[in-house]
Amino acid sequence: MKNEENLSLEALLREANEFRSTAYYDKHLDAIRVQTRDCSIWEERKNRFITIYRRNDTSVNDVVGFSIKGVRHLLHEMGMPAFGSVKMADFLAKILDFLPDDATRMVRDIYAEETHLPEEIEVPNEAYA
């Protein structure tokens, strides 16, 4: 019995320390941030709204995430509510219509490929809620 408890605890600790892709609204920067790998990154600004995260520890510079800045402005400009639950598929599709460039397509594709990212992200009513 004691060995089973130890194994369960070890398994729980291992699972707790595993990296999981993450997506969230950063209220201080009014940005949606997404990171798909646990690694050191560098940021590459692609346009006035999108920054791509690239892996530091490889010569390939794999893309491992992104941020979209000015979320409230974008939501307003695209006719969507500037707060509340944002359906990421709808948001990214509208951004692609609003800003049809390679960086926007890359962001949409990154989000679509990651199965563990949330379908919706909550943007609070107050910028610093």
Q: Quick: pLDDT tens for 56-92.
A: 887 666 899 999 999 999 999 999 998 899 999 999 9
pLDDT at 2 over 60: no
* Domain parsing of the chain, residue ranges: 20-123
Q: Quick: pLDDT tens for 13-43.
A: 666 667 778 899 999 999 999 999 888 899 9
Task: Please name the residues in contact with 43: beta carbons below 8 A apart, sequence gap of 6 or more.
Answer: 51, 52, 53, 54, 67
Structure tokens, 56: 């530091």
In terms of pTM, does the model score above 0.85?
Answer: no
Burial of 70 per CB tally in 10 Å (0-12, 13-18, 19+)? middle
Which uninterrupted H or E stretch holds 22? strand 22-26
Structure tokens, 58: 């490889």
pLDDT at 4 over 70: no
